Homo-oligomer: A and B are copies of this chain.
């Protein structure tokens, strides 16, 4: 990270080399840096005006950035801004645009004819409905079914475009001709956002529960762009967001008992918050208890109610 001058425009070799470079995403999508403002140095600069002379000598840059991230001092991260050019299926864009804190200029299918490209799913890329997560995908669909599904998709996308083209030929207004385009149709946009809000977007969309398509974009933006643009911030983001966990009041109570060997107390607490209710097929399903089990496992602790002595 070099800065041209103490009060001036910050620039960085690493990000400068990315400007204009297109990263491919999905079968025909892309992400490309158009412009940026600031970087790790601008975050430090902004934090220091907040904290005044007091902190000047105390922290070095890395320590200060980590402190800001850890304590959710968000405004210094808003001092950085990035503008991306993206090409993305409309279905994925429908999720993307729900993040309201960005500036957007999207390709208009009122002004111009719709982009003649749709996201194509190859036979081996069809995903089954998750059994455990109502909103997610599970294993891949078996290949022979995938062949059928992809063939039908090709047929549908081809037919949709024929209908669109026919409408244009008949002189139908573009704003109406587009009405039956499939959601898989690609669109393009400039998307400009500050670093704080971008990290929030990434924390949600790089998450394993995010849909594969938007996760693919988020992963490229995070790993290929932000990691190079603001390396100290990215490191702190990984440590304090992406690879962190949170413990609820209830989970803290359970863990406190487990680490002192008080398995009985832990079970009693779990019972008191209705995590161990019996149903006809044994203990009832309880999502909050399941999540606590995952965290116990993450910390290398035994689940008290799954121990033999527990019951």
Contacts and interface: CB of A to CB of B under 8 A. Distances in A.
A136 interface: yes
Copies in the complex: 4
Contacts of A5: 20
Contacts of A107: 49-50, 52
B137 A111 contact: no
A interface, by DSSP: helix, strand, loop or mixed?
A: mixed
A178 B127 CA distance: 12
Interface of A: 5, 7-10, 16, 19-20, 32, 34-38, 42, 45-47, 49-55, 63, 66-67, 70, 75-76, 78-79, 81, 83, 85, 89-91, 94, 97-98, 100-101, 103-108, 110-113, 118-119, 121, 126-130, 134-138, 141, 145, 148-149, 152-153, 156-157, 159-160, 163, 166-167, 170-176, 178-184, 188-190, 192, 194, 211-212, 238-240, 243-252, 255-256, 259-260, 287-288, 291, 298-301
Contacts of A244: 246-249, 251-252
A18 to B, nearest CB: 10
Given A103-B194, A128-B172, A172-B127, A300 B52 contact: no
Given A108-B51, A166-B152, A135 B192 contact: no
Contact of A180 (B46, B182, B251): B182
A163 B157 CA distance: 11
Contact of A181 (B54, B148, B183, B238): B183
Contacts of A38: 35, 83
